[in-house]
Amino acid sequence: MAVRQALGRGLQLGRALLLRFAAKPGPAYSWGRPGPVAAWGRLERPGRAAAPGLQPRRVGWRLPDRYRFFRQSVAGLAARLQRQFMMRARGGAGPGGRAVFLAFGLGLGLIEEKQAESRRAATACQEIQAIFTQKSKLGADPLDGRRWQGFRLEEYLIGQSIGKGCSAAVYEATVAALHVNLEVAEGTRLPGRGTDLTTAGTTKVPGPGAPHFPLAIKMMWNISAGSSSEAIFRTMSQELVPASRVALAGEYGAVVHRKTKGSPKQLAPHPNIIRVFRAFTSSVPLLPGALVDYPDMLPPRLHPQGLGHGRTLFLVMKNYPCTLHQYLRENTPSPRLAMLMTLQLLEGVAHLVQQGIAHRDLKSDNVLVELDADGCPWLVITDFGCCLADERVGLRLPFPSWYVDRGGNGCLMAPEVSTAHPGPRTVIDYSKADAWAVGAIAYEIFGLANPFYGQGRARLESRSYLETQLPALPRSVPPDARQLLRSLLQREPCKRPSARVAANVLHLSLWGEHLLALKNLELDKMVGWLLQQSAVALLTNRLAERSCVETKMKMLFLANLECDALCQAALLLRAWRAAPGQLCT
């Protein structure tokens, strides 16, 4: 609508100039046909008194049937202007009038050509997106062999502790009747097969006949929710944001018959975000290591000094070998691999933003890792206990007082969140907060210490740091990645790229060098490059026995194509390369 309004104003100006400087006396010409009409001005109504012998005078100019022009295409307007130019040229109009009409006709013709090119590019992106959306769908639920299987704790065989956080403990688990191969369901190597993660983070080889644990059970610590299932689901509802439909249709669906006002959103599945297969409540058991790791969280029947309630929430997920923090402690990714890992985080965050959800607790401990057949890590965002997923507010949270929860992990809290002061009209915008956290985590991925962790002068505070204080990345890191990380850590959100644009920057930097090398960025050539990438991704995915991480990321990129966001990323990259060493926002 804004484009049409601008065109309408341009036409008004051109016609006003033509009337002022080039109009001939005598009958005016309408758009497309000659004849005395009121197109160049509004005549007095015949009913009004006029001096005898005088023609009706013009009482002011207005655009006749103005909304008719807004509804017409630019091509139609260009054609009308060109026809009018020819008629006025035959009628002996002055050079000023011919020039005005010619300029408008040519200008609108060029605009129409660009619009047609944009429409072709948008249509091609939509068609590619439709194809790869189907190709990128996640596998079936591994517990769907029998309907409603897995909603009782007694159905699971629970192994050793995987780890614990500030609100839950996670254990490895399996189902005795489970015969579903997660390798087929998820399209990646089955974690836990061949190695078994212990509490300390080291690995051990299971003995003969030892059970494999493809699943993980997260037991929430229930201090204040009460012991009723309804109260537990209501209080811990944020943990259910990434839950599958089957998980919510079990006990949760039986307890909550209708969606209550203000209940959290449900997140559509994404390959870089954890999936909760089952969610149910059960009595708290005495699991291995409980008396040592979290005795205060147990109910009094299990520990005399325990503060927990007797019943709590259990979440069943896929078991991943390690966290990102554990992986980086023992591995140093190459610069290209580090770019792929950062790209996966940005893809996950872009999906969250598109769904109107903010994680608000991103850190390397809340990112899980598994390896593909080539040993390349695949990253999955987990732990949604602090997320903002309120349908009423979206990503803009009212902040009237300090009692409003701003999220977890204060070290990686974006500046617009950490510096917010409560007030009656204060609103915190989380649309780019998670992207800022990804920029900080990327320092760890590229082999440096996170600048917002630690103590002393080396640590930066998100509330007060200056962008010039950010540590320099190694020279081995590609310039595009260095520019992107500094751009993600800009203090002002308006100068920070969105997660979608940032992800497209890395996609183009990894695979679009030919497109970026073009002197002019033409949409038709960009579409040709996208079609080429589509063919390569489909062929590679079909021929490879197991899809590698790069192929999966290409398919994910094509499944989330947005023509505008891709053009923004390309222009951003070209600007950075045109002015190396300077941060372009």
* CATH number of the domain where residue 372 is located: 1.10.510
Is residue 175 a contact partner of residue 318, using CB atoms and an 8 Å limit?
no
Angstrom distance (rounded) from CA 130 to CA 126: 6
* Least confident interval from 47-61, 324-338, 461-475, 522-536: 47-61
CB-count burial class (<10 Å; 0-12, 13-18, 19+) for 324: buried
Q: In what order do the strands lie in the sheet with 377-381?
A: 322-323, 367-371, 377-381
Helix (H) or strand (E) holding 322: strand 322-323
**Are both 412 and 549 inside the same structural domain?**
yes
Is 246 inside any structural domain? yes
**Are both 93 and 166 inside the same structural domain?**
no
Closest listed residue to residue 263, CA positions, set 225, 234, 230, 220: 234
Angstrom distance (rounded) from CA 514 to CA 495: 27
Query: Which one is catalytic: 141, 361, 383, 480?
Result: 361
Is 327 inside any structural domain? no
Angstrom distance (rounded) from CA 551 to CA 553: 5
Is 361 known to be catalytic?
A: yes
Angstrom distance (rounded) from CA 585 to CA 582: 10
Integer CA distances (angstroms), 478 to 49, 397, 506, in order? 79, 36, 11
CB environment 561-575: b (16+ within 10 A), e (fewer):
bbbebbbbbbebbbe
Task: Provide CB contacts within 8 A for 327, sequence distance 6+.
Answer: 369, 377
What integer best gives the mean pLDDT of the chain? 77
Which CATH number characterizes residue 292's domain? 3.30.200.20
* Count of residues in the chain: 585
**Are both 385 and 250 inside the same structural domain?**
no
The domain total for the chain is 3
Is residue 15 a contact partner of residue 38, using CB atoms and an 8 Å limit?
no
**Are both 312 and 213 inside the same structural domain?**
yes
Angstrom distance (rounded) from CA 12 to CA 31: 13
Is residue 365's pLDDT more than 50?
A: yes
Angstrom distance (rounded) from CA 226 to CA 424: 33
Last residue within a domain, chosen from 296, 319, 342: 319
1 vs 231: which has the higher pLDDT: 231
Is 271 inside any structural domain? yes
**Are both 109 and 174 inside the same structural domain?**
no
Is 352 inside any structural domain? no
* Least confident interval from 84-93, 330-339, 385-394: 84-93
Closest listed residue to residue 486, CA positions, set 567, 584, 364: 584
Is 584 inside any structural domain? no
* Radius of gyration from C-alpha coordinates of the chain: 31
**Are both 19 and 158 inside the same structural domain?**
no
Structural domain that includes position 475: 359-578
pLDDT at 94: 55
**Are both 171 and 297 inside the same structural domain?**
yes
**Are both 192 and 89 inside the same structural domain?**
no
Is residue 63's pLDDT more than 50?
A: no
Is 495 inside any structural domain? yes
Query: Which residues are bridge partners to 279 per DSSP?
Result: 315
- Are β-strands 311-318 and 377-381 bridged in parallel, bridged antiparallel, or unpaired? unpaired
Integer CA distances (angstroms), 152 to 117, 156, 243, 254, 315, in order? 57, 8, 17, 14, 11
**Are both 479 and 522 inside the same structural domain?**
yes
Last residue within a domain, chosen from 63, 93, 119: 119
228-245 pLDDT, tens digit each: 988 999 899 999 999 988
pLDDT at 78: 58
**Are both 275 and 400 inside the same structural domain?**
no
Last residue within a domain, chosen from 294, 319, 344: 319
Is 135 inside any structural domain? no
**pTM assigned to the model:** 0.75
**Are both 441 and 574 inside the same structural domain?**
yes
pLDDT at 48: 47
402-451 pLDDT, tens digit each: 999 998 888 899 999 999 999 999 999 999 999 999 999 999 999 999 99
526 pLDDT band (50/70/90 cuts)?
A: confident
Is 473 inside any structural domain? yes
Helix (H) or strand (E) holding 576: helix 563-578
**Are both 304 and 388 inside the same structural domain?**
no
* Least confident interval from 153-167, 255-269, 438-452, 562-576: 255-269
